[in-house]
Amino acid sequence: MQIVIMEPLGISDDALKTLTMLLKADGHQIIAYDRKAETEEILIKRVRDANIIVLANQPLRKEVLKHCHQLKMVDVAFTGIDHIDVDYLKSNRVTICNAANYSTHAVAELAIGLMIDIKRKISESRNILMQGKSKFPIGSELYGQTLGIIGTGTIGLQVAKIAKAFGCRLIAYSRTQKKEAQALGIEYVSLDQLMRQADIISLHVPWTKETTRMIDAHQINKMKENAILINTARGALIDYQALAKALNMGKIAGAGIDVFEEEPPLPPDHPLLRAKNCIMTPHIAYATQEALYRRAEIVFDNIRCWLEGDPQNII
């Protein structure tokens, strides 16, 4: 089998050698690229003869896949798969696997970190200090705040566990209500109730047709003036034009955003670049040394299991 790793997985060369050692010993060819393809034409050349394609967050669309006549498996080193053409792959009987739950702790910790940064005004205070000023803003604690979690999947529940340790009251809106969530003390409410009650709102749902811009101007206008909005899930969940307007008008207190409609770098005219009280990170929630190595382990386990006829993490 020709296995093409079409972009870096964020692990060292030594780690990659270790994780692919058994596959090579079994006679499989491993081709790994150390940077993303800059054009569609280059990407086609990389993957057209592959039997197995491994990718992280670089898009893999029909325009490229239609050239891959030997393709049997696509192994996504990510939880979300909205950047690959699932319908085309399934119609051509190509197995799709993902790396679910590799970054649960990493994403949850960044979400909490963004909450603390905004509430305690850490970045704002640093900027004041760097400007040589002495009057600093007074922040607020997480203790006693109402945290509204949208989506109580694995990551949403991990955020809840951490927030509970800080002394937050927990409410949630989710398609399904889980006993584990209720055991943590989470109270399930409607989306309308959550938007109106929460001091902090954190998004942890996948991007689907139903969730696209689920937080629009109408929902943002329901938020308290002292509330903040955190998004470490998918950029398309929020209308960022509406969010920027709300921030600049002081309708809400702040936002912590790690994900956008497209991968960074952002275009110069992106509305959040000019928004007040907005802490932004360049899609790094998943990216810790521990999570990236765990992800690579899952990816190569997926290949091994598929080759042995017992596939795992199938989409």
Structure tokens at 276: 């007040």
Catalytic residue among 67, 283, 297, 304: 283
- Cβ(70)–Cβ(47) below 8 Å: no
Q: Is 124 a catalytic residue?
A: no
The C-alpha atoms of residue 84 and residue 52 are separated, in whole angstroms, by: 14
Q: Is 283 a catalytic residue?
A: yes
Number of residues that make up the chain: 315
The C-alpha atoms of residue 7 and residue 218 are separated, in whole angstroms, by: 39
E strand segments, 166-214: 169-173, 187-188, 200-203
The C-alpha atoms of residue 7 and residue 34 are separated, in whole angstroms, by: 6
Structure tokens at 247: 């921030």
CB atoms within 10 A of CB 283: 17
The C-alpha atoms of residue 248 and residue 245 are separated, in whole angstroms, by: 5
* Residues 6 or more apart in contact with residue 212 via CB below 8 angstroms: 236, 237
The C-alpha atoms of residue 35 and residue 45 are separated, in whole angstroms, by: 14
| DSSP-derived secondary structure for 131-176 | TT---------STT-EEEEE--SHHHHHHHHHHHHHT-EEEEE-SS
* Residues 6 or more apart in contact with residue 66 via CB below 8 angstroms: 88
**3-state DSSP call for residue 58?**
coil
The C-alpha atoms of residue 63 and residue 42 are separated, in whole angstroms, by: 12
Residue type, 193: Q
Catalytic residue among 234, 270, 294, 295: 234
Which residues form the catalytic set?
234, 263, 283
